[in-house]
Amino acid sequence: MNFKREIPALLAAVFLMSIAYAAQANQDQGFEIAARSDRTDLGFGDSEVELQMVLRNAAGQESMRALRIATLEKPDESVGDKSLVVFDTPRDIEGTALLSHAKILDPDDQWLYLPALKRVKRISSSNKSGPFVGSEFAFEDFTAIELNKFDYTYVGEVPCGDLICDVLERTPRYENSGYTRQVSWVDQTHFQIRKVEFYDRRGDLLKVLELTDYRNYDGIWRAHKLSMSNVQTNKQTDLIYGDYTFNAGLAANDFVKGRLSRLR
Amino acid sequence: MNRFLLVSLLAALSISPARGGEVDISGSVEMQARAFWHDPQWVGQDDQALQGTVISTTEIRWYNEGGNQRAAFIPYLRWDATDEERNLTDLKEAYWAIEGDDYELLVGANTVFWGVTESVHLVDIINQTDFAGDIDGEDKLGQPMVSLMLQRDWGEITAFVMPHFRERTFTGVDGRFRAPLPVDTDNPVFQSSGEEDHVDFALRYSHYIGDIDIGLNLFSGTSREPRFIPAADGQSLLPAYDQIDQFGVDVQYTKDAWLWKLEAIVRDGVTHSFAAAVGGFEYTFYQVSESSADVGLLLEYQYDGRNEFEPVTIADNDVFVGTRLAFNDVQDTAVLAGLSYDTDTSETFVNIEAERRFGDDWFVELQVRAFSGAGQSDATIWLQKDDYAQLSLARYF
């Protein structure tokens, strides 16, 4: 055996293995932090909340939408939550509703209710990256953020406000995402997501989401203000939440497609 | 006052949780202007190129404290400056409903839509069409009913008992969209001796399995589509409503950006049993050219096996091609353009609809409809001079 030739190769192999090991360790750590954050939510059962969507264009002009969201938890992490979004304003779309049965990697099942025709329409959910009702939130930002929809890498820790945040990079595992990657800040005290950066298909920073006004409902945290700023267009959408109601007694039959035409 | 305070205040003012022992009142006033660019074809039709209409809709909705009961009362008033037959007073909805975990009982007038396709709504049969309101058949009249819905793991079943029949609206002597003779809606002819009080029944099963949504429908009662019989004095046409039995099925397969759609019916009609079907697809290109806009392409084929003694239909052997443009902007700007072409007779119908919101409360829609190429046996033969553009402006409150 020619040690002169083999030793550098061996060293190189060890070096590469340690990088791989470190990368794996970073992925494990990233997933653990994301999972810990996700699991602070476990057992919320169901929730109902009313919110205002404030859309602001680059010139600062605002328009508003009022909506209600009902969510039914599916505790199993391999199954997505069910959600129902109903619009109260603008008045011309009052009663418009979107029902989603989230999946982890498969496309979600989605139905749209159009009150003018009283028509329930199954819609394609492959439009992940499209804007949700003209806002800076894409469909994929708005439907349930499920733990296993992403791969994670731990990046490091930085101060965030009064807290210290772990910084994670997450890459979508599902198809048709508009993002190559997202960078999320998760605080080390309450394990809540404080900020997310979204990078577009070219790898450029597209949007920044800030989650503030966290409130605790018997151990369940909810942000009450979500501000999504598009750094490329200077448009912004704020979601301003009212108080959450948990365990409102919602059941699977409240999230069936036929229910859409019986909401009002 | 800083902006956040202002936003919060506005939020507090405009979130009115219309749930739990509350009454929610909303509505709209709509002004329509129609422009016709051909002179009218038939004696008696008003020759004004510009015709105006005002529509008022009020929605009063009530929900009980427990959230298991609700009621709706939706009066609809239409006044037309040209054609008094287009005037309409209707209750789109006037019902009370109670629901449990797996059932709903509804009593009163309601509107129910069935189906999946875009170019023609074959299986949709519960509500009568307000043809005077809009020739596209999508304006409906409230249908009095008692309906009971049962939700099971294997799907949803709804039974309908409809004790009173609504007659189709038609434009009058002064109006467009009619045959050489106007329809005399005061003297309908019924096959059933019960006339408009014949009790109609319907049953609907609806479910989905993975990517497939399916509906099965049964209807037994008075046909929503009339035939026309010349009146004894030869001055008008009498609408004739026959008893029919109809089985319908609607299926949609949703895969990626594709929606594959099929509706089919078998009807035991006036003189024979026949089948009709419409099927096709809608494919959407999302965020075209890196914009926010979506462009959908629609293609549907319509077949109808009815003979000449059954109520006439435009959708008998037609190809429909269309496009749907959704700008996904704050104003919800959208355009739907379509063309139906009869492969036997070259009968063509063009329909363009564009809409957007202005501010928070105003909504504007532009429609253009044009007819051409109809042969003697075609449904639109009498409408060849009725091409029009309509601008409507609605204020919501």
Query: What integer pLDDT is reported at residue B188 of this predicted model?
Result: 96
> Cβ of B271 under 8 Å from any chain A Cβ?
no
- What is the residue range of B182's domain? 34-396
Mind telling me how many Å the CA of B52 is from chain A's nearest CA?
22
A127 located within any domain = yes
> What's the CA gap between B383 and B395, in Å, rounded?
31
Cβ-contact A37, A185 below 8 angstroms: no
What's the whole-number average pLDDT of chain B?
A: 92
Cβ atoms within 10 Å, residue A83: 21
Tell whether omega for the bond before A75 is within 30 degrees of 0, i.e. cis: no
The verdict on a CB contact (< 8 Å) between B14 and A64 is: yes
3-state secondary structure (DSSP) of residue A58:
coil
Tokens of B260: 């594959």
Interface predicted TM-score (ipTM): 0.91
Tokens of A240: 């301003």
A8 located within any domain = no
The verdict on a CB contact (< 8 Å) between B208 and A109 is: yes
A135 located within any domain = yes
What pLDDT, in 10s, does the model give residues B314-325? 878 899 999 999
Higher pLDDT, B54 or B67: B54
Rg (CA), chain A: 21
Say whether pLDDT at A19 is over 80: no
- What is the residue range of A44's domain? 39-262
A5 located within any domain = no
Query: What integer pLDDT is reported at residue B8 of this predicted model?
Result: 40
What pLDDT, in 10s, does the model give residues A38-47? 888 888 899 9
Say whether pLDDT at B379 is over 90: no
Query: Hey, which residues 49-88 in chain B have their CB within 8 Å of chain A?
Result: 61, 70, 72
Tokens of B191: 């096959």
A175 located within any domain = yes
* Cα dihedral across residues A232, A233, A234, A239: positive or negative: negative
> What's the CA gap between A83 and A80, in Å, rounded?
10
The verdict on a CB contact (< 8 Å) between B15 and A52 is: yes
> What's the CA gap between A166 and A182, in Å, rounded?
14
> What's the CA gap between B202 and B162, in Å, rounded?
8
The verdict on a CB contact (< 8 Å) between A92 and B396 is: yes
Query: What integer pLDDT is reported at residue A242 of this predicted model?
Result: 97
> What's the CA gap between B389 and A179, in Å, rounded?
43
Mean pLDDT value across residues A5-33: 75
B242 contact partners, CB below 8 Å, separation of at least 6: B191, B222, B223, B227, B269, B270
Work out how many domains chain B is built from and give that number.
Answer: 1
**CATH number of residue B81's parent domain:** 2.40.160
Place of tokens 């298909």: A201
Mark out the alpha helices in chain B (DSSP H runs). 3-14
Query: Hey, which residues 246-265 in chain B have their CB within 8 Å of chain A?
Result: 252, 254, 256-259
> Cβ of B209 under 8 Å from any chain A Cβ?
no
**A49, β-bridge pairs:** A69
Tokens of A39: 């699991």
A86 located within any domain = yes
Query: What integer pLDDT is reported at residue B146 of this predicted model?
Result: 98
> What's the CA gap between B74 and B27, in Å, rounded?
9
Tell whether omega for the bond before A159 is within 30 degrees of 0, i.e. cis: no
pTM of the model: 0.90
Q: Which residues of A touch B10 (CB under 8 A)?
A: 52, 64
Which residue from A46, A78, A77, A104 is spatially nearest to A248, judged by alpha carbons? A46
A59 located within any domain = yes
**CATH number of residue A169's parent domain:** 2.50.20.10
A251 located within any domain = yes
Of A64, A109, A240, the CB nearest to B360: A64
